[in-house]
Structure 1
Amino acid sequence: YTDIRTWMAKLDAQDRVSRGEPIPDDIRRLLGDIVVTAAETDGAVDIYSEAGLERPSLDQLTPAWEQNASMPDKAQMAIEGLRADILREANIATNGNAVRHTMFSERINKLMARYTNQQLTAAQVISELVELAKEVVEEASRGNQFEPPLRTDELAFYDMLAREDDTAIDVMGSDTLAVIARELVATMRRDIRTDWTVRDDVKAKLRSNIKRLLRKYKYPPSKQKEAVVQLMQQMEAMAPRFAEEGAP
């Protein structure tokens, strides 16, 4: 019981670290300084070591490694190690993109729920995690499908626009959504202020510009209100970094 409780606390600590969240004091006390320090620096390394596995890069998950990781005495540790790595790398790759970050997190949560409910074997979970890891690796170059390529910030707004209306891409085309995304980033950079998130006049101006862009490019009217709310939230999430970088 004590071993299981310690392992669960350790995995919880690693999960929180991968999401950039602090580790609660009760977990720190339970695990002790040495274990928590290991989790804070790179907890997944310790998990792989416990399983007798070499820690792989997400872009080098070979069939041989997957087969070895699926062995009964290694599978559970491998699952936890991969889960931690994918969450951490997805957080880096999405770089403030709320839609994609949520998508990766939800897919992992659903996968682990199916495993917990015994709908999937350990080997099947590892196989699906490997496929998800490939998507995380490809995330950094996803904007290259557009001409010109969408930068990370532009891609975040594109994803928000596409998510708010499932038919938007069919009706407007991905190129048009990409144009709106580029203009949204340009608008935000032009109007950026270090304190814009607490200044009603600046927020009102940004909100007005968003509405104007959506109307200009004939974004589905029934979804415009929701899109404005979501786009403003995305802007607020990006604002501190934009302010620090300064307008070009």
Structure 2
Amino acid sequence: VFGNYIDIYDIEQAVEDGATVRIYYENRLVKLDLKEEEKALIDPQFDFVTEGQEMESQEKLKSKWARMEAIVGSQTRIKRVAKDLVDHFEERLDAMDGKGMIVCMSRRICIDLYNEIIKLRPEWHNDEDMHGFLKVVMTGSATDPLDWQPHIRNKPRRKQLGDTFRDPSSPIKLVIVRDMWLTGFDVPSLHTMYIDKPMQGHGLMQTIARVNRVYKDKEGGLIVDYLGIATELKKALSQYTDGGGRGEIAFDQEQAVAIMMEKYEIVTGLFHGFHYHSFQKSNTSEKLKLMRDGADFVLGQEDGKKRCMKYVNELSKAFSLAVPHPQAMQIRDDLAFFKAVKNYIVKITSPPGGEVEDVDLAIQQILSTALVSDEVLDLFQLAGLKKPDISILSDEFLLEVKDMEHKNTAAELLKRLLNDEIKSISRKNVLEARSFADMLEKTINQYHNRNIEAVAVIEELIELAKKMREAQNRGENLGLTEYELAFYDALGVNDSAVQVLGDDVLREIAMELVKAVKSNITIDWTLRESVQAKMRVSVKRILKKYGYPPNKQKLAVKPVLEQANRVCEEWAST
């Protein structure tokens, strides 16, 4: 009547655009306990029955549904589903944090399955709505059985429970539903859906779409089929592709396993010749040594750090889709070692921040036998070094780094520590920090291009560290504070001006500049052009007052104002 579609935004395009993730399908059929005469009740064309329809007075439909519900919800079968589901979901959570949803055929089955799961995992139960690992979400009334009442909530309570479940950090990880939350309820961290209910067509499409939302490192969602909906999935896809759409609704999990094994082969190649298979059986100190040795082995290769980050991440994502497939479980211990080395390298080489805090947690879990839950991982402890009492630039500490067994790790560690030190300097002295950063970058580039070996780069980095230490004493020798020294350096960018004025005059200018900056500072310094304009006038006036060469003033104003900006940002924030 209305003609063809003008445009079709299909599954494949959505995945390519990053709007959704792929959905994978796993068949874990739990067989029905059927007598021969009951088999006829299981009709593949059985109508999809919604919550409203179940309550209708169509006796024939009601009877058919009830008989099938009794078979699907037999006590023996529910026990089997509960046991398999608990093991499966725990293994999924080990691989990837997130949420799960169980779709059951009736409210009675929802309650019975909940009770069987709690028998296996009593700690998953909690009477409070906002606490506990597992919840049942369903409607009901005061006339329902007494043991159903704890699971029946009014609309405001259900909304609050939904908001809590959406929160990735909430303790509620798994919910059991019949029809609620299957449409229009988005939980991006939901990565696993267990279906134990006859479903078809649009309703089935809507339901499985709950797991295809994009979230952090989530590579895909998994549909676990306990009842046998594969035929209906194919039919739904057929209806969809007839309309011109591209892409499969769900990929077989074997495809995820194939991708995982391909990534596994790449990562094992990265560690070829390194013996790590004893990692999981080792004690904490042995694990730590294997992590150090493994990191040094990787860092000694061309682009070792970059390749390790990329391929171990890809393997981890593929593993999260394949687990708990037997092949995934076979490589689990190896993956634990690969991730440990990757996290160790990140900790040693990256500046402090969110990613490193996540890595701290990951390494804590690996070394859990030695670390209490609230202990913060110490970078120096991980590297096998004593924490320096005073400074990372002290002779004692630099000598200890130089003597480290793992030279590649030592070079990366020293680079990271010097980077942190340069960042600290840059908050007070822009030009000095820039000079040190250039020296560091030049040395590291030589190292990464393999123009110099790890031993040589350590020597060069130690020399740089000593120069940085000496620079800290310059202010005292000149009788200047660290901020006055920063402006003194900014004024000294022009050698001819230094020769004309001399050190004493430059010191006086630097001191007066610090006073001028302090008098002009405001909380919104970087936003107010009028304040900065006033500062520019002050700088020019001071330079003129002390006889700074007029033809050199323009060149001097730029670095001085840059230094003033940096100092004001720090002072305004304190």
Q: Secondary structure at the match of 2:526?
A: helix
Which position in structure 1 is the counterpart of 2:362? 34
Query: Larger helix proportion, structure 1 or 2?
Result: 1
Deviation at 1:215, TM superposition (A): 2.0
Which position in structure 2 is the counterpart of 1:65? 400
Alpha-carbon deviations, 1:169-208, whole Å to 9, x = none? 2232122211111111111112222233333332222111
Deviation at 1:212, TM superposition (A): 1.4
Q: Does residue 446 of structure 2 align to residue 85 of structure 1?
A: no
The letter of the residue matching 1:174 is: D
RMSD: 3.3
Q: Does residue 545 of structure 2 align to residue 234 of structure 1?
A: no
Deviation at 1:107, TM superposition (A): 0.9
TM-score normalized with structure 2 length: 0.35
The letter of the residue matching 2:537 is: S
Moved more, 57-66 or 125-134: 57-66
Q: Distance in 2 between matches of 1:62 and 1:197?
A: 39
Question: Percent of aligned pairs with the same residue?
Answer: 30
Q: Distance in 1 between matches of 2:557 and 2:421?
A: 29
Q: 2:429 aligns with which of 90, 97, 103?
A: 97
Deviation at 1:9, TM superposition (A): 7.4
Is the contact made by 2:360 and 2:377 (CA closer than 8 Å) also made in structure 1? no
Which position in structure 2 is the counterpart of 1:17? 351
Deviation at 1:32, TM superposition (A): 8.2
Deviation at 1:235, TM superposition (A): 1.5
Q: CA separation of 1:151/1:116 partners in 2, compared to 1, >3 Å: closer, same or farther? A: same
Q: Distance in 1 between matches of 2:532 and 2:448?
A: 44
**What is the 5 A alignment of 1:207-222?**
207-222=536-551
Q: Does residue 531 of structure 2 align to residue 202 of structure 1?
A: yes
Q: Distance in 2 between matches of 1:121 and 1:169?
A: 40
Is the contact made by 2:411 and 2:457 (CA closer than 8 Å) also made in structure 1? yes
**Could you say which structure has the greater relative contact order, defined with CA pairs below 8 angstroms and 6 or more residues apart?**
1
Q: Distance in 2 between matches of 1:162 and 1:144?
A: 17
Alpha-carbon deviations, 1:152-184, whole Å to 9, x = none? 111111111112x13332232122211111111
Which position in structure 1 is the counterpart of 2:451? 119
Q: Does residue 522 of structure 2 align to residue 193 of structure 1?
A: yes
**Aligned length in residues:** 228
Q: Does residue 511 of structure 2 align to residue 182 of structure 1?
A: yes
TM-score normalized with structure 1 length: 0.75
Q: CA separation of 1:93/1:243 partners in 2, compared to 1, >3 Å: closer, same or farther? A: closer
Q: 1:152 aligns with which of 482, 494, 497?
A: 482
Deviation at 1:119, TM superposition (A): 2.7
Q: Distance in 2 between matches of 1:79 and 1:175?
A: 40
Q: Distance in 1 between matches of 2:460 and 2:480?
A: 28
Q: Secondary structure at the match of 1:233?
A: helix
Q: Distance in 2 between matches of 1:67 and 1:122?
A: 10
Deviation at 1:123, TM superposition (A): 1.8
Q: Secondary structure at the match of 2:487?
A: helix
Q: CA separation of 1:115/1:212 partners in 2, compared to 1, >3 Å: closer, same or farther? A: same
Q: CA separation of 1:81/1:196 partners in 2, compared to 1, >3 Å: closer, same or farther? A: closer
Larger Rg computed on CA atoms: 2
Q: Distance in 2 between matches of 1:55 and 1:204?
A: 46
Query: Larger strand proportion, structure 1 or 2?
Result: 2
Moved more, 117-126 or 4-13: 4-13
Deviation at 1:127, TM superposition (A): 1.2
Is the contact made by 1:98 and 1:234 (CA closer than 8 Å) also made in structure 2? yes
Is the contact made by 1:196 and 1:203 (CA closer than 8 Å) also made in structure 2? yes
The letter of the residue matching 1:143 is: G
The letter of the residue matching 2:510 is: A
The letter of the residue matching 1:224 is: Q
Is the contact made by 2:427 and 2:570 (CA closer than 8 Å) also made in structure 1? no
Which position in structure 2 is the counterpart of 1:224? 553
Q: Secondary structure at the match of 2:548?
A: coil
Is the contact made by 2:401 and 2:410 (CA closer than 8 Å) also made in structure 1? no
Q: Distance in 2 between matches of 1:191 and 1:238?
A: 12
Deviation at 1:100, TM superposition (A): 1.3
Alpha-carbon deviations, 1:30-53, whole Å to 9, x = none? x68424999x9654542x23xxx5
Deviation at 1:221, TM superposition (A): 3.2
Is the contact made by 1:99 and 1:159 (CA closer than 8 Å) also made in structure 2? yes
Which position in structure 1 is the counterpart of 2:125? none
Q: 2:472 aligns with which of 101, 126, 140?
A: 140
Unmatched 5+ residue regions in structure 2? 1-265, 272-297, 299-307, 310-340, 368-375
Which position in structure 2 is the counterpart of 1:243? 572
